[in-house]
Amino acid sequence: MSSKSAGARAGKEVLYNLLSLIETGNPAEVIPAKLWYLKRQKYIGRIGGNYYLLPKGERILTENKVWVLKIPTPKKWDSKWHLVLFDIPADKRKRRDIFRARLRELGLVLYQNSVWIHPYPVEKVIREIAEFYKLESCVSFVVAEKVTGEKSLRSQFKLD
- Cα–Cα distance between 111 and 68 in angstroms, integer? 24
Query: How many residues are there in the chain?
Result: 160
Q: pLDDT per residue over 135-157, tens digit each? A: 999 999 999 999 999 999 999 99
Q: Considering the chain, tell me which residue range(s) the CATH 3.30.70.930 domain(s) occupy.
A: 81-156
Q: What does the pLDDT look like over 37-78, one tens digit per residue?
A: 889 999 899 998 888 999 999 888 888 888 889 999 999 999
Distance CA 88, CA 137 (A): 9
Range 81-156: architecture per CATH: 2-Layer Sandwich (3.30)
Asked whether 108 and 123 are in contact (CB, 8 A), the reply is: no
pLDDT of residue 15: 84
